[in-house]
Amino acid sequence: MSPEAFTNLFSLLIGFAVAGALTSAYQSLAQRPAGFGLLQQGVVAQSFAAVPFLMFAAPFIIMRNTLLGPRTTTTARRRTEFVALATVLAGTWSLMSGTVVLMALHAVGLIA
């Protein structure tokens, strides 16, 4: 495996791990699951604080909503295209946020 491929895989995994840790911590503190509804609180400090939180927690929320969200059809099955699209979107978002986390860890000297 090339070094670039390994770095991308590591960024993807770190992105999902950080997203899961953030949403689990939020759910533990707030006693409710995190979601994109955090942005709909009006113009208050919580809405502005939710933006950086959701930037890193979004991959987990997207996948959770895709896999466990309400069923829209009577057969309780989701269309394969929408699940694939949500998975690609969450994976790309996780890759980007994981890259930011790794760059920040490198900048403060925690990784080489």
Asked if 46 and 81 touch (Cβ cutoff 8 Å), the reply is: no
The structural domain count of the chain equals: 1
Q: Indicate whether 60 belongs to any domain.
A: yes
Confidence at residue 76, expressed as pLDDT on a 0 to 100 scale: 59
Give a yes or no: residue 31 inside a domain.
yes
Cα 83 vs. chain centroid, distance in angstroms? 15
Give the per-residue pLDDT at 45.
74
Domain for residue 47, yes or no?
A: yes
Q: For position 15, what pLDDT does the model report?
A: 95
Rounded CA separation 66/35 (Å):
12
55 located within any domain: yes
Mean pLDDT, contiguous 10-residue spans, the chain (112 residues): 91 95 94 86 76 93 85 64 92 95 93 80
Would 35 be classed as within a structural domain? Answer: yes
54 occurs within a structural domain: yes
How far is it, in rounded angstroms, from Cα 112 to Cα 110? 7
As a whole number of angstroms, the distance between CA 18 and CA 79 comes to 28
Tokens standing for 63? 């996948």
Residue 4 is predicted with a pLDDT of 92
> Distance (Å, rounded) from C-alpha 51 to C-alpha 38?
9
Please report whether residue 112 resides in a domain.
no
